[in-house]
Amino acid sequence: MSDWLGLTGRTAAVTGGGSGIGQGCALALARAGVIVWALDRDEAALADTAQQAADEGALVTGIACNVTDVESVRRAATTAGAVDILVNAAGISRPGTLLDVSAEDWQRVLDINLTGYLTTTRAFAPAMVERGSGSLIHVASISSRNPQPGSGAYSASKAGVALMSQQLAYELGPSGVRSNTVSPGLVRTPMTEAYYQAPGVAERRDAAIPLRRVARADDIADVVVFLASERSRYVTGADITVDGGFATTLMGTVPRPGYDG
């Protein structure tokens, strides 16, 4: 079956396209025949994504862009022109409980992870509305519904993304524009690599997941490609959890005598 996804010749903008999940999404979309603009504040990382795509005979063009700067995002949208697909993946995390996190870190996390997603949506979605079609895909997290120790601002930002996406689906559905989230669990990327360098962490994390391995960026990217394509044309306001089953394991965390195994 050739080009089942039907994405050849489509266009996409991918924020955070220089690294990790965003880079994985940019490359996976490009492999599917999409003309991809990768937006990131890290220009060296963008060059790496473009080179990796070129090595595979695909096309990703980098645009230096800071998603917290409305003018920077507007310029990027002007350069890219109307796109069919927007993937929001640029994000950060900062340690701190809600009582301890500094006001600056709280604000920074919300500015990038939540407001940044809205700013790019506001820059790219109007052209989709005008054309009567488009797919918005926001990388959220299972942290949006599972409080994570020492990560108060991050979880709140991702919960905001989840509702923002549903709100967009409701508002833009009549215009033919879809909005969905993917919620990864544990993914090994430059953001999280330091954890895996600590002795035993990679093994313990693999063991905690029903599918027995932490995700790679391409595990998430393949689901994003599906949501970008017409194969998901009737899916909007939805969230797809991509966590190897990790979020199903709550009941396994407590002892239950007589029911072991």
Ligand X SMILES: NC(=O)c1ccc[n+]([C@@H]2O[C@H](COP(=O)([O-])OP(=O)(O)OC[C@H]3O[C@@H](n4cnc5c(N)ncnc54)[C@H](O)[C@@H]3O)[C@@H](O)[C@H]2O)c1
Binding interface with ligand X (CB under 6 A): 16, 18-22, 40-42, 45, 65-68, 89-92, 112-113, 116, 139, 141, 184, 186-187, 189-192
Instruction: Write down the least CB distance from residue 6 to ligand X, Å.
Output: 26
Region for 245 from its dihedrals, namely left if φ exceeds 0, alpha if ψ lies in -120 to 50, beta otherwise: left
> How near is the Cβ of 63 to ligand X at its closest, in Å?
10
Q: Would you give the DSSP letter of residue 216? A: P
Q: Using the minimum distance from each CB to ligand X, give the nearer residue, 70 or 92.
A: 92
Shortest Cβ 64–ligand X spacing (Å): 9
- Sequence-ordered alpha helix ranges (H) in 34-177: 43-55, 70-80, 103-110, 116-131, 152-172
Beta carbon nearer to ligand X, 18 or 134: 18
In the complex, which residue's CB is closest to ligand X? 20
Distance of alpha carbon 210 from alpha carbon 220, whole angstroms: 17
CB 157 to ligand X: min, Å: 8
Pick the closer one to ligand X by CB: 33 or 69.
69
Q: Which is nearer to ligand X, 17 or 134 (CB)?
A: 17
CB 23 → ligand X: shortest distance, Å?
Answer: 7
Rounded to whole angstroms, how far apart are CA atoms 237 and 170? 7
Cβ(11)–Cβ(34) under 8 Å? yes
3-class SS shares of the chain: helix, strand, coil, % to 5: 50, 15, 35
How far apart (Å, rounded) are the C-alpha atoms in residues 252 and 115?
36
For 237, residues 6+ apart whose C-beta sits below 8 A from its C-beta are: 165, 166, 169, 170, 173, 179, 180
Two tokens, residue 66 = 């800071």
What is the token pair recorded at 15? Answer: 């924020």
- Cβ(67)–Cβ(45) under 8 Å? no
Q: Which of 154, 196, 234, 259 is catalytic?
A: 154
**Active-site residue flag, 196:** no
* Nearest distance, CB of residue 5 and ligand X, angstroms: 22
**Nearer to ligand X (CB atom), residue 122 or residue 132:** 122
Of 191 and 201, nearer to ligand X (C-beta) is 191
The residues that are catalytic are 154
